[in-house]
Structure 1
């Protein structure tokens, strides 16, 4: 795998850290800014809203930029957003800064996934995308726990200052390691084609699968700390360790899903969603004992994140000649899944069904997501192979253009 994927993974590490660390810092932020924890929770929503708005908007605005330049600009916005978070004088300013930090998230992963697939030989695109997403999973294993401890001991502002430094390092890595790939041009009809691709019913079904399937994961993850302390009996100090195990499962899921998706994207997606539904259905029983709860948390991270690579690749392949906006929109769909899953899980708890009831709701969401995925597979039979050939053609064009540019200029 090319070193350029390392630059994408470093960027993903920074993005993943800032996305999830706020959940652990809410009490500290609330106390420092003299507000309640529920009110501080809107800071998580502000970031997610930034992702949903920024994914299609920034992708469209930068559709004609060379890919490296586009990714560096997106990381610059990310860095400014985190620096603004560290320096925010009050709650309102911090809310705006978190929205700004979230804006480039979806566009970066959307463009980055297309770039990763173009950097490698045909038949290895999913593995390349999974390598980029490894940065996101490692953030949950290392970045979020360390950043949370840093925020608890040195103040939450120090956490976002460090994330801004990671953003600067990611920008440098992108400039040094990533070749300057031009925007897709030969087979693309420009922004109009990108927008038109979103109207394809197979792309719509792919995005809907992402929202429904991944919502099942966040229906549980959003309330996992409460389940561990109130049902399993895990101490509050151990919750961070258990959440890191969820990150370990995510990493394993990314490593497993990459090569499987290259061989058979649809069966990989069906298997991951089916396994997710089973794990979620059994989750309430596993949470009764510490040992089984730990295993269940790892399995949830594994099967949940195993869905991300095939979902990303399938949406890109259905979009065919205009995959970038569809890829970015899929990242917005993941964040809608986060918000929707958290809402569904909270509704079951509020209805008095118990702390583990979100898992059963999540199992239902995963099952519906699987049904939508099967429907999309029937409608798109034979089309994904064509989409793969289009991406491969785009890859060859990018290499030819990169050679011409390097021959014309030493920069």
Structure 2
């Protein structure tokens, strides 16, 4: 795998840490800014809002830019937003910096995905996306707890400075390893081609799979901590262990998924989604027992992240000639899931259905994603047969003669 792809993974790690670390810094930030914890929690929503809009908007605005220039610009704005956030005492200013940072982070995600796929080649798309998306996995496992510890000991602003420094380091790596210059005329992206590609129904079916699968995973994961403390009966001190098991499973899942997604994308999706349904339902049924819950937390991370490379490579396979906007909208589809899943789980909890209900909701959403993936596989198989009728098996064997 080219070094540049690993550099892109590092950049996603730096920015992904910022996406996640607010959850661990809410009390400190609320006290310092003089606002409620719930108001501080809206900073997480601000980031999700920025990412949802940022990917497609910036994909269009920077479509004809050299990708290295686009990614360096996004990273520079991201660094500036975190410096401004670390220096301000105004909640409204901080809220604005979170939206801006998420906006350019989403743009970086889209550009990095297309760049990594191009550098790795068509036979290694899944592995390339596993490396890039693996940066977010490492952010979950290491960046989130490190940012929390840093913020608790040196103040939440120190975590913002650390993210800014890591992102600046990533800028150096991008400048040194990503080829510069504009693509040749034949390869210059055109908005008309990108929009024509977006009209494909199969592409929107792929987005539906991404959004449903992600919402199902986040419906369960978003409330995993209270599930294990309130239902399983584990202490709050054991929550980091549960999260570490989830992160370990995510790391294993995305590594294995990246290795097989190129050869068998639909098999990867079907196995991972079916596993997600079983694991989520298992948590709903067995959350009262500590040992199964710990094992299922590990498997939830594995199933949820194992399909990530296939969800991305499927979009690139469909939008082969004009992937930039298609990849950007897939980033938005991920963020739709990140927003909708926990929201549905919260509605169930507020309705008095208990924490087990979120796992049932997760299982139902992932099951819906499995249906869309299976339908897409069937449609793809039919299209392949129509395109190459000779590949379709004959209804009955035809005797072969030598003409005598």
Q: Partner residue of 1:17?
A: 17
Structure 1 residues 86-143: Cα deviation after superposition (integer angstroms, max 9, x where no partner)? 1222211111011011012222222211211111244112111111111111111111
More deviation, 330-339/225-234: 225-234
Deviation at 1:240, TM superposition (A): 2.6
Partners of 2:64 and 2:189 within 8 A in 1 = no
Report the Cα distance in structure 1 between the residues aligned to 2:108 and 2:377, rounded to whole angstroms: 27
More deviation, 236-245/190-199: 236-245
Q: Partner residue of 2:165?
A: 165
1:66 is aligned to 2:66: yes
Report the Cα distance in structure 2 between the residues aligned to 1:264 and 1:27, rounded to whole angstroms: 45
Report the Cα distance in structure 2 between the residues aligned to 1:170 and 1:260, rounded to whole angstroms: 28
Higher radius of gyration, 1 or 2: 2
Q: Partner residue of 1:150?
A: 150
Deviation at 1:198, TM superposition (A): 1.9
Structure 1 residues 33-66: Cα deviation after superposition (integer angstroms, max 9, x where no partner)? 2222222111101000100111011111111111
Q: What is the aligned length? A: 385
Q: Partner residue of 2:388?
A: none
Structure 1 residues 311-331: Cα deviation after superposition (integer angstroms, max 9, x where no partner)? 111112112211111111111
Secondary structure at the counterpart of residue 245 of structure 2: helix
1:87 is aligned to 2:48: no
| Structure 1, unpaired ranges of 5+ | 385-411
Q: For 1:28-43, what aligned pairs fall within 5 Å after superposition?
A: 28-43=28-43
Q: Partner residue of 1:387?
A: none
**RMSD over equivalenced CA pairs, Å:** 1.8
Partners of 1:142 and 1:244 within 8 A in 2 = no
Deviation at 1:171, TM superposition (A): 0.4
Report the Cα distance in structure 2 between the residues aligned to 1:99 and 1:112, rounded to whole angstroms: 20
Q: For 1:136-285, what aligned pairs fall within 5 Å after superposition?
A: 136-180=136-180, 182-183=182-183, 186=186, 190-285=190-285
Sort the Cα spacing of 1:383 and 1:162 in 2 relative to 1 into closer, same or farther, 3 A.
farther
Q: For 1:250-329, what aligned pairs fall within 5 Å after superposition?
A: 250-329=250-329
Q: Partner residue of 1:103?
A: 103
Report the Cα distance in structure 1 between the residues aligned to 2:68 and 2:168, rounded to whole angstroms: 15
Structure 1 residues 221-270: Cα deviation after superposition (integer angstroms, max 9, x where no partner)? 11111112212223223323321222211111110001110111111111
Q: Partner residue of 1:391?
A: none
Report the Cα distance in structure 1 between the residues aligned to 2:241 and 2:95, rounded to whole angstroms: 28
Q: For 1:329-408, what aligned pairs fall within 5 Å after superposition?
A: 329-381=329-381
Report the Cα distance in structure 2 between the residues aligned to 1:185 and 1:203, rounded to whole angstroms: 26
Q: Output the TM-score relative to the length of structure 1.
A: 0.89
Sort the Cα spacing of 1:370 and 1:254 in 2 relative to 1 into closer, same or farther, 3 A.
same
Secondary structure at the counterpart of residue 75 of structure 2: helix
More deviation, 163-172/266-275: 266-275
Sort the Cα spacing of 1:198 and 1:48 in 2 relative to 1 into closer, same or farther, 3 A.
same
Partners of 2:64 and 2:188 within 8 A in 1 = no
Q: Partner residue of 1:406?
A: none
Partners of 1:286 and 1:296 within 8 A in 2 = no
Report the Cα distance in structure 1 between the residues aligned to 2:5 and 2:81, rounded to whole angstroms: 24
Report the Cα distance in structure 2 between the residues aligned to 1:137 and 1:315, rounded to whole angstroms: 21
Report the Cα distance in structure 1 between the residues aligned to 2:379 and 2:183, rounded to whole angstroms: 29
Structure 1 residues 252-310: Cα deviation after superposition (integer angstroms, max 9, x where no partner)? 11100011101111111111111111111111233222222221111111100112111
Moved >4 Å (runs of 4+): none
Report the Cα distance in structure 2 between the residues aligned to 1:62 and 1:161, rounded to whole angstroms: 28
Report the Cα distance in structure 2 between the residues aligned to 1:249 and 1:104, rounded to whole angstroms: 29
Partners of 1:106 and 1:329 within 8 A in 2 = no
Q: Output the TM-score relative to the length of structure 2.
A: 0.91
Sort the Cα spacing of 1:84 and 1:195 in 2 relative to 1 into closer, same or farther, 3 A.
farther
